[in-house]
Amino acid sequence: MSERITSLKPAIDAADGQTAPVIAADHAQLLHSDDPVLAANKRLCYDMYRTVLQAGHADRAPDFIGPHYIQHNPNVMSGVEALQAFIRGSRPQREILPHIELPLVSIIAERDMVNFTFVRTEKDGDGNSYHTSWFDLFRIENGRIVEHWDPAMKSADMLKLDPNDNKIGR
């Protein structure tokens, strides 16, 4: 038995020897779950992403994130205030859009966790672009996000970096 969670479509052509990245064709499909708790957890994280991380509305963070937020990203401290300071320091406020604009591959939910996978564009040592994947994992407790993991490496640049210009295939 195979259960595809969504249909994927090619995002952009890839360089020789690389597999072309794919993105989800339909976010409503990604947000679906037969389990109402998992569906609500996905929606909570999706709305936080498009409101706080994408649109830069740091003041809205407490609507989605618990006060004792545990942050595993090595460049940002734990706590909702530290996240708000990071957002204010790294991106302008924009209009809140109904969809996540970054190239989203999947939203996977199980137990108290929700994982987002994105296509991410990086530059190699020669300045040539290539594609890899980015992940954000959230743990949810009592309707609020209480913990976050991502693959970020320690870097002072990250505190100034707005990832929202990474919009291939849209």
Partner 1 sequence: MTAAEETLEERNSRIVIDMWQKVIREGSREAVLRYIAPGYIQHNVNMPSGREHLLRLVDIIKDTPADFNPPRHKELVRTVAQGDHVVVIWEQEQDDPNVPGATYTGHAFDMFRLEDGMIVEHWDDTRKWPKPW
Angle among Cα 126, 124, 158 to the nearest 5 degrees reads 125
Number of residues engaging partner 1 in binding (CB under 8 A): 41
- Return the number of the residue (55 or 104) whose C-beta is nearest partner 1: 104
Residues whose CB falls within 8 Å of the CB of residue 140, separated by 6 or more in sequence, listed in order: 41, 44, 45, 112, 113, 114, 146
| Binding region for partner 1 (CB under 8 A) out of 13-21, 50-58, 78-86, 95-103 | 13-21
- Return the number of the residue (41 or 58) whose C-beta is nearest partner 1: 41
Buried b / exposed e along 106-122 (16+ C-beta atoms within 10 A): bbbbeeebbbbbbbbbe
Kindly state the smallest distance separating residue 76's Cβ from partner 1, in Å.
13
Place of tokens 């996540």: 100
Is there binding between residue 75 and partner 1 (CB under 8 A)? Answer: no
Which residue of 77, 132, 141, 169 would you call a contact of partner 1, by CB under 8 A?
A: 132
Distance, in Å, from the CA atom of 42 to the CA atom of 104, rounded to the nearest integer, reads: 13
Chain length of the chain: 170
| Binding region for partner 1 (CB under 8 A) out of 44-52, 79-87, 93-101, 112-120 | 112-120
- Quick one: 55 exposed, middle or buried, by C-beta within 10 A (0-12, 13-18, 19+)? buried
Per-residue mark of binding to partner 1, 35-74 (x: CB under 8 A) = ---x---------------------------------x-x
Residues lying near partner 1 in the complex (CB under 8 A) = 1-5, 17-19, 21, 33, 38, 72, 74, 105-106, 108-111, 113-115, 117, 120, 122, 124-125, 130-135, 137, 149-155
